[in-house]
Amino acid sequence: MRSHLLNDVTAEQYRRSVTEGVERVAHRLATTRRPFSGATPDALAPRISAVDLDRPLGDSSAALDELSGLYLDDAVYFHHPRYLAHLNCPVVIPAVVGEAVLSAVNSSLDTWDQSTGGTLIERRLIEWTADRAGLGPAADGVFTSGGSQSNLQALLLAREEAKYDDPAQLRVFTSESSHFSVEKSAKLLGLPARSVVSLPTDRERRMQTVWLAAELERCAAEGLVPMAVVATAGTTDFGSIDPLPEIAELAARHGAWMHVDAAYGCGLLASPTRRHLLDGIERADSVTVDYHKSFFQPVSSSALLVRDTATLRHATHHAEYLNPRRAVAERIPNQVDKSLQTTRRFDALKLWMTLRVMGADGVGQLFDEVCELASAGFALLAADPRYDVVVSPALSTLVFRYIPADATGPHAIDRANLHARKALFASGDAVVAGTSVDGRQYLKFTLLNPETTAEDIAAVLDLIADHAEQYLGENLVHAS
């Protein structure tokens, strides 16, 4: 069994095995004609259950052969131009090279003595990102597993910085379109459900700051403590960007921590033409960035940035075996002092490779392209009488629904849209997402693939219309 350990003796075997895996993926990418096979859970589950985990196959060729039928044949492929569903991006090759390197070397970024240069590379990238956000000379941060963890840590810091006697006094203000991880984080931090105040949005699905102002006043009048205002720069459903300068002003006036959740909108930090959409982010106390959404990085790659490095102490614990206090005196750079995690992947290497190969403008241009594609898609939808489209996109998301020509009740329209999404997924021709808007069912394109064209969008709209019409036709037949 020692022949499977990666070391000096097996280096050649490692090269062959990994190359074999890479070749299979390359073949798959080159020949996949649809984003998805349409396989159902019922079809896949028995195949995976049938594998006897106590009877190994012995070598990776055999395991890779088996994996084709268990996973690769029926995976959902985000690189396909007709994958239009969630906030998943196609990945850039330099990042995948970084991924291969980081998992083989397997550095752990908790302490210097497990990572050395890795820690310094991560710190440079945090500095680089914080600098692009304009967070100032004392800024810092740490890579995390994703936006949810970044938001949790931000709210932990906000709570620790707040002055209060009873946690029941704390209030977190956010918009009704913000990510659910804000509420979940509050719950994890032991705050009661009423502590998260969800503010109405305007037509463009941005937080209405008149409501924020009023709620902050009310909070003060009631003797409560405004722990944090969470603004979203790129909401998950609409890509809308809250008015950051006004929010910063209000948060400052009321002494609230300002967190900007830029999990989606962070790509604008690299955009050669759209950086101004994030104006106001420089006033944040903390920022969430998901490189695995708009920097074309493989999952996971995310970071939490803070304006003041001192605030990260709220995540610090000194363990004698790992990061004793004397390491601080010796100025040893240990990232575990800043992180909720202990053992932690060197995910930063992927972004490092990306910037060293493509440069920031290169990545930013790709994000610009998908934002432009979304504008073209909006024009198509707005001109198409079959569709109702919700808002003109700030980033790369389109929310819309199919509306049949003949008068049909609102429930039938909901069901037709739900059906169209499911039927499309089952066909594997395209993958689209769904959401609800004002209680009605809508469909959603999250455009993160620069290879998707306006023709792809038009073709998928035709497919949706066909599926919806077919459903309505069959249902009318049923009813009559």
Ligand X SMILES: *Cc1c(COP(=O)(O)O)cnc(C)c1O
Q: Given the rule CB under 6 A, which residues bind ligand X?
A: 87, 146-148, 151, 179, 181, 232, 234-236, 261, 263-264, 290, 302
Comparison of 236 and 441: residue with beta carbon closer to ligand X:
236
Q: Angle at Cα 281 formed by Cα 221 and Cα 350, nearest 5°?
A: 135
Q: How far is the CB of 234 from ligand X (least distance, A)?
A: 6
Q: Which two tokens stand for residue 61?
A: 């060729």
Q: How far is the CB of 269 from ligand X (least distance, A)?
A: 15
Q: How far is the CB of 178 from ligand X (least distance, A)?
A: 7
Comparison of 179 and 254: residue with beta carbon closer to ligand X:
179
Locus of tokens 């962070």: 266
Comparison of 147 and 364: residue with beta carbon closer to ligand X:
147
d(CA 112, CA 107): 10
Report CA 391 to chain centroid distance, whole Å. Answer: 21
Comparison of 224 and 447: residue with beta carbon closer to ligand X:
447
Locus of tokens 């914080």: 130
Collapsing DSSP states into helix, strand and coil, what is residue 81? Answer: coil
Position of minimal CB gap to ligand X: 147
Listed in sequence order, the residues at least 6 apart from 123 whose beta carbon sits closer than 8 Å to its beta carbon are 333, 335
Helix (H) or strand (E) holding 386: none
Q: Which two tokens stand for residue 168?
A: 């029941």
Comparison of 254 and 444: residue with beta carbon closer to ligand X:
444
Collapsing DSSP states into helix, strand and coil, what is residue 174? Answer: strand
Q: How far is the CB of 232 from ligand X (least distance, A)?
A: 5
Q: How far is the CB of 309 from ligand X (least distance, A)?
A: 23
Pairing status of strand 170-175 against strand 225-232 = parallel
d(CA 77, CA 356): 26
Comparison of 122 and 429: residue with beta carbon closer to ligand X:
122
Closest to 76 in 3D by CA, of 345, 299, 395, 398: 299
Q: How far is the CB of 347 from ligand X (least distance, A)?
A: 12
